Each structure stands twice: as structure tokens, then as C-alpha cells.
Amino acid sequence: MPNEDLSYFQEDEFKQKLVLYEQMLQGGQSVYLEADELTDIAEYYLIHNEKGKAMDCIHYALEIHPGSIDPLIFLARQKMFDGDMEGARTIRDCITDQNDREVIFFNAELLLREGKEAEAEKYMEQTAETESEDYAMYAYDTAVLFLDYGYLDLAARWGKKALEMEPDNEKFLRLKADFFIAANRLQEAVQLLDALLDRNPYDLNAWNSLGEAYFVGEDYPKAKESADFALAIDEHNAQALLLKANCMFQQQHYEAAHELYTRYFKEYNANEIPYLFDGVSLMAVGAYQDALDQLLLAEDIAQGISSEQQHIYANLSEVYSKLGKPEKALEYIQKVKELLPDYDINLYKGHIMLENGRKEEGMACYDKYIQSSPTPADAHFFVGVSLTENKAYEEAIPHLNYTLLHASATNENRRKTYAYLSLCFLKTGQFMDFLSCLKTAIEKDPDGVEYTIGQYIPEEIEIKDFYQYVLAHADSFQRMGRQEKPDDAHERHRERRGDE
């Protein structure tokens, strides 16, 4: 069922059938439901992360409607998603009407999952010849299928066929907008979706697509605003809820992101990526054991083939290190290396060693990383950052200075260096150097200042005014580096970020 069809589950007609079915399960009066109605109920359970109930419903459907196409296709698709292609075909072959549209689209999806897009295109062209009725919807559904699997040219070709037949169909126009988003033609997508929302301000799917367009364009405030409009229409909408959670994550509002992810997991089935992001959010607020639980779930769901696999492994390495388990951390860093053979993992090994009190081993790993790097000035920057994060401020300073003194470092790394040096100089009591770096950091990298020095910036002071604030409170800052416990400072920094 396409994402936009999920709105059907909010309609009174579906809710009444769901209530009747659930009352029957609880010992109520027996009711008769068609096979497609029971399949819709199974789909509802599946997206709400209740696979057991979904499968029970499908088996019940087949008991009272043996050989029915919809529940058999449901079972076949579950086999396909589990990687059992032969099992999927075996169930498909049990269907008597192989020309049914559900069977046709399932066959095409099987081909796409095997990477045979040319065969799928040819197959859909051939079967289209038999579609004398509602060809426009056939073309639309074909376009959706190709778009779901990332074949943009094929999706555009079939979407154009649908629009040629029904140019004012809002459903078809939304698909065109989704194609623009997938093709990174974001301005065109926004213009089209704005026009659709002018026609119908309560078009939930258009709000979701508009939010997606802004999200892809990294305009997270506008993406969140679109998600809020969608949630005002339907507070349980899965796509809007996940979009808002992802916006909070990208804006580093980690506690808010975690709350939204938790709400999403309670209501809907999720792939590995939301669990990954939730794990990262929990790490950011210091809830390392909870973060580990979510990241292990992400690993289990991903089954080693996710587009985010290296990030799952890297974050598992980080959280195990935070929990004082360096051997497990190193194990997962090695998994990253297996995915990316040319990847130099010595920087991360060094970080793990330092974080777990094995400084000599850590410094040796840093040296290996710098010596093997084709861009030593940038390597020194990353080592300096790692040392700063491990509160080895004195050791970090020469590495960060190296980056500043060598023009071969990237402009971005040189720009970011000032904020890290500011923190290091503050922590080591080098007040004049702190002032000099802070002034430049505020000009060149205000976000970096917020990240590194933010724990010392009062809520009522804007970053651009912080340099003058330091001058006015010079005595306090001269004493601060030696007196304040870093853990207390980081805790206040987290609290401050969470309030924004």
C-alpha cells in the first residue's frame, strides 16, 4: 500500500471494520469481512508494528476466503521482504488468476528487487496492453513502483502518461512533486505543492511532501512547520511524525527528537534508520545504555545490508567506548573497515584508547593516522578535535596550531580550528590566547563556538556579543579554566541546548 493511501486507515469506514474484527477476536459476534477488507486490517497491524496480529488476520482471511488474491499477495510480499524469493514465487504461483493487477505489480516488484529494471519495464509495457479500463491509474501505480525503487527516469515516463490522460488529477500531481523531490528539483516541487495546497489546504499528503522537499533542501524549520500542519490534520500521521522527529534530530534538539521517535515506535513499524537516529540522540544526552539498545535494534533490522550500515557500526563503536567496553568498540570499528577497506581507522582507535584510559596506545594510533594521511594538516585537525573531546587540552593545542599554520589544510577545517583552540586555551588558563581565538571563532564559525564554548554563554547573551561579555567578566574567565569541572560544564551545555 503506497504511503499516501495510509490515510484510508483514518476513515470511519475502515475504523468500523477494525472495531468489528477486534470485537470478534474478543469473543463477540461473528462478522463477515471480505478478503480485501481483512488484508487492509493486516496492513494496518503491520505498519503499527504488530506483525503477529497481521499474520493472524491474513491466515483468518485465507480460512474463510481460501485462494483469495489479496491475502496471498500479502504473504508473498512478506516472504520477498524477508529475502525468500523462492517462497514468494511459490505463494504467487498458487493464485489462479495470474492476470490480476495485484499479481502483475507483485511480479514487477520481484524483478525490481533483483535489480532487473529493464525486464520490469518491458513486463509492465506488455501487461499494460490488456488495461483497457483505468489505464491512467495503472500508469500512476507503475510510476509509484519505479519511484519507490529509485528508478527516476522510468517513474517520470509513467507519471507523464498518467498526467497526459488526467492533467488535473491531484494525486497524479502530487506524484510529480515527489518525482521532483527525488530528482533534487526542490524549487519546482515546492511551487507545485504550494499550488495544490492553495486548492486544498487540508491535503495531508501535500503537506507531507512539502515537508519532505524542505527537509531534502536542509531547511529544517520549514520542514518542521509543514510536519506540524500535517499533524494538525492528523495527529497520528506516520510520515509527519517521523519527519518532525528527523527535523529535531538534524537541528540537534536531541531530547525532543527522542520523544518523537519513541512516540513513532509505539505506533508504527520502522526500518533501521529511525532507530539509528534515536540511538545517536540518546548518546548526545548521555543515555548510553538506552542508546546501545536502540543501535543494536538498528543493527538487527539492517541485517548487514543497510545504506547506513557503516554509521550503525561506527555509532555502536562509540557507545561501547562510552560504556567502558573498548574491545567491543574496536570490534565494531573493524566492521567499518571491512565495509570500507581503504578507510583509516587509526583516528578512531586512538579516540577509543584515550577515552578508556589507555593514553599511550591512543597517542600511538594518532601518530599512525597522521603519518599515513595524504593531507597531514587536516589529520592534525581531527586528532586535535579527538584530543579536545577527551579533555586532553594541552596535547590538542599543538595539533590544532599545526592546522592553522599550514595552508594545505582545507578552509573548513582551518575555520573550525579557532573554536576548538578557544576551548583548549580557556581550559589551560591561557587567557590572552583564548580571547584572540574566541574573537576569530565568533566571526568565522559561530556554530562551532556554540558547540565548544556554549556551556559558558549565558542564555540572555547572543553569540555575537559573547566576546564583549568575556571582556566585561575577564576575572571570572581567567579563573574559570582551572576551577570548573568539565563534566558539569557539558551538562549545562546539554541543558541549554535542550531549552532552545
The answer to whether 167 and 180 have CB atoms below 8 angstroms apart is no
Could you tell me which of 28, 95, 25 has the C-alpha nearest to residue 65? Answer: 95
B/e letters for 13-33, b = 16+ CB within 10 Å, e = fewer, are ebeebbebbeeeeeeeeeeeb
CA dihedral sign of residues 149, 155, 156, 162: negative
Separation CA 46–CA 77 (nearest Å): 12
Q: Provide the grid cell at 78.
A: 512478506
Separation CA 379–CA 345 (nearest Å): 12
Q: Does domain 168-270 have CATH number 1.25.40.10?
A: yes
368-377's contacts with Cβ under 8 Å and 24+ in sequence apart are 369/344, 372/344, 372/346, 373/344, 375/408, 375/409, 375/410, 376/402, 376/406, 376/408, 377/402, 377/403, 377/406, 377/408, 377/409, 377/413
Q: Provide the grid cell at 48.
A: 503499527
Separation CA 458–CA 468 (nearest Å): 13
Could you tell me which of 136, 143, 177, 137 has the C-alpha nearest to residue 158? Answer: 143
Q: Which residue has the cell 589507555?
A: 358
pLDDT score recorded for residue 231: 96
Question: Taking the mean position of all CA atoms in its chain, how far away is CA 310?
Answer: 14
The answer to whether 452 and 420 have CB atoms below 8 angstroms apart is yes
The answer to whether 189 and 173 have CB atoms below 8 angstroms apart is no
Helix count and strand count (H, E) for the chain? 29, 0
pLDDT score recorded for residue 6: 63
Q: Provide the grid cell at 300.
A: 538487527
Provide block-wise average pLDDT over 10 residues at a time, the chain (500 residues). 59 88 84 91 87 92 94 94 91 92 94 92 88 84 92 92 92 94 95 96 95 96 97 93 97 96 91 96 97 96 89 97 96 94 93 96 97 96 97 96 94 96 95 95 94 92 94 88 48 38
Separation CA 211–CA 144 (nearest Å): 19
- Kindly state the helix (H) or strand (E) to which residue 395 belongs, with its residue range: helix 393-405
Q: How many CB atoms lie within 10 A of CB 438?
A: 24
Contact partners, residue 483, CB within 8 Å, separation at least 6: none
Q: How many CB atoms lie within 10 A of CB 294?
A: 26
The answer to whether 331 and 350 have CB atoms below 8 angstroms apart is no
As a dihedral over the C-alpha atoms of residue 200, residue 205, residue 210, residue 213, rounded to 10 degrees, the angle is -150
Q: How many CB atoms lie within 10 A of CB 431?
A: 18
Separation CA 250–CA 218 (nearest Å): 9
- Write the CA distances from 144 to 100, 174, 319, 321, 346, integer angstroms: 18, 11, 39, 43, 44
Radius of gyration of the chain from its Cα atoms, rounded to whole angstroms? 28
Angle between helices 220-233 and 238-250 (to 10 degrees): 150
* 3-state DSSP assignment of residue 482: helix
User: Structural domain boundaries of the chain?
Assistant: 168-270, 410-500
Burial of 216 (C-beta count, 10 Å sphere; 0-12/13-18/19+): middle
339-348's contacts with Cβ under 8 Å and 24+ in sequence apart are 339/309, 339/310, 339/313, 340/310, 344/369, 344/372, 344/373, 346/372, 347/379, 347/382, 347/383, 347/386, 348/314, 348/317
Q: Provide the grid cell at 9.
A: 486507515
pLDDT score recorded for residue 482: 56
Q: Provide the grid cell at 177.
A: 512533486
Q: What share of the chain is helix, strand, coil (3-state, %, to 5)?
A: 80, 0, 20
